[in-house]
């Protein structure tokens, strides 16, 4: 296990369709985060999990967005009824929940979503 992986790397969809992204964190990390990054901007926090519990959600996460981490391992992010404004890079990160690690976050390669 060499790092955080995300699938797919690229997704093109038509407006109104539903899409689902997957993130596999580093295996011993029990915290998992989702961020969204639009072109030319820094990433913005969406939500995070500690094990299977979703502990915080950003106001950016509208009702069309839902995230799960059912077994405390991989996570999925679903966007329903996609809109052109959803076009962005969706980044996943993970971190261990131990103070000796400084809670450092490790990021995956991202999923680039284009809504046409």
Q: Are 92 and 32 in contact (CB under 8 A)?
A: yes
Q: How far apart are the first and last CA of the chain?
A: 35
Say whether residue 82 binds other proteins (CB under 8 A): no
**72 sits near other proteins (criterion: CB under 8 A):** no
> Rounded to the nearest whole angstrom, what is the least distance from the CB of residue 81 to other proteins in the complex?
26
Asked whether position 102 contacts other proteins by CB under 8 A, the answer is yes
By CB under 8 A, tell whether 110 contacts other proteins. Answer: yes
Considering beta carbons, is residue 81 or 90 the nearer one to other proteins?
90
Determine the Cα–Cα distance for residues 77 and 69; give it in Å rounded to an integer. 9
Q: Does 22 bind other proteins (CB under 8 A)?
A: no
Work out how close the CB of 35 gets to other proteins at its nearest, in angstroms, rounded to a whole number: 8
Nearest to 108 by CA among 26, 20, 10: 26
Phi, psi of 84 (to 5 degrees): -60, -30
Q: Does residue 40 have a cis bond before it (omega within 30 degrees)?
A: no
Rounded to the nearest angstrom, the gap between the alpha carbon of residue 83 and the centroid of all alpha carbons in its chain is 18
Q: Can residue 42 be called a binding residue for other proteins (CB under 8 A)? A: yes
Binding-site ranges for other proteins (CB under 8 A) = 4, 6, 31, 33, 35, 40-45, 48, 55-56, 58, 89, 91, 93, 95, 102-110, 112
């Amino acid at each position: 296990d060499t790092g955080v992986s995300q699938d797919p790397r690229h997704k093109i969809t038509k407006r109104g369709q539903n899409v689902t992204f997957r993130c596999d964190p580093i295996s011993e990390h029990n915290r998992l985060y989702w961020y969204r990054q639009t072109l030319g901007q820094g990433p913005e926090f969406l939500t995070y999990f500690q094990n299977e519990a979703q502990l915080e959600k950003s106001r950016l996460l509208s009702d069309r967005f839902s995230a799960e981490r059912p077994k405390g391992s991989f996570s999925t992010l679903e966007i329903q009824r996609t809109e052109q404004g959803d076009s962005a890079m969706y980044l996943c990160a993970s971190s261990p929940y131990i103070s000796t690690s400084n809670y450092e976050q490790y990021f995956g390669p991202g999923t680039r979503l284009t809504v046409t």
